[in-house]
Copies of this chain bind each other. A is one copy, B any other.
Amino acid sequence: MDSSAAAHTSDGDAESPDGRLRRGARSRKSVTRRAVDIASAEGLYGLSFGRLADELDLSKAGIQTLFRTKEQLQLATVEEAGLVFLDAVLRPGFEAPAGAARVRSLVEHWLAYAAEPLLPGGCFWTANLADFDSRPGPVRDALARQRQEWVAVLARELRTAVEQHEIADLDPDLAAFQIDAVLNAANISLRLGNPGSVPMVQRVVDGLLAPPATRRRAQRTSKTR
């Protein structure tokens, strides 16, 4: 992840006398944070230098100087989205003890993250992976890697839950795939004005996480909750 920001700060150890480097880093952060909001709703192709300039009261050429090309702007936006996800989902989710409790906490924080007002367009990856899955390149690769890391986190906690005998013996990778799938489906349903998929996610997760003796009942009937 050698972003151009790293290059900016590494070619001179000392801050320039008038604070230009500091101001540059601050501008970069404010641009990428806004870009994450735009891209969550309208996709990474909805980004443009001109639009960001208008919304942030900067000049278009100034933003272009910070990122050089649109692809590098998109990559920086993807990286910033990862930080947003880290703060909103991973860090708070990891306050729960490893295993089933952490899976539940991660799912809860994910559902909150997908709802407004954190990101106006819901989940950043739901919106952009579908856009970029047919466009090979570094942006697609970065998005795919982040998604894979998220699914791997879920799988690891599910594996821990199995090893701790909190839940029945299931395939952690398969269960993580299912949880990620229904979360993304719920995110789209939320965008379409149908909140009914959120309790469906809960029921799927409850079914997967139910202790061995009661798992059949929890996932089977519609009136369990």
Q: Which of A1-9, A40-48, A71-79 has 4 or more CB atoms under 8 Å from chain B?
A: A40-48
Convert A145-175 into 0s and 1s, putting 1 for each residue whose CB lies closer than 8 angstroms to a CB of B.
Answer: 0000000000000000000000011110110
Taking the closest CB of chain B, its distance from the CB of A70, in whole angstroms, is: 16
* Chain B residues near A51 (CB-CB < 8 A): none
Taking the closest CB of chain B, its distance from the CB of A177, in whole angstroms, is: 5
State whether the Cβ of A16 lies closer than 8 Å to any Cβ in chain B.
no
Taking the closest CB of chain B, its distance from the CB of A97, in whole angstroms, is: 24
Total copies of this chain within the assembly: 2
Taking the closest CB of chain B, its distance from the CB of A157, in whole angstroms, is: 16
**Interchain CA distance A72-B31 in the complex, whole Å:** 35
State whether the Cβ of A129 lies closer than 8 Å to any Cβ in chain B.
yes
How many residues of A are in contact with the other chain, CB < 8 A?
A: 43
State whether the Cβ of A184 lies closer than 8 Å to any Cβ in chain B.
yes
* Chain B residues near A127 (CB-CB < 8 A): 130-131, 133-134
State whether the Cβ of A200 lies closer than 8 Å to any Cβ in chain B.
yes
Convert A174-211 into 0s and 1s, putting 1 for each residue whose CB lies closer than 8 angstroms to a CB of B.
Answer: 10011011101100100110000100100110000000
Chain A residues packing against B (C-beta within 8 Å): 41-43, 45, 120-122, 126-127, 129-131, 133-135, 140, 144, 168-171, 173-174, 177-178, 180-182, 184-185, 188, 191-192, 197, 200, 203-204, 215-216, 219-222
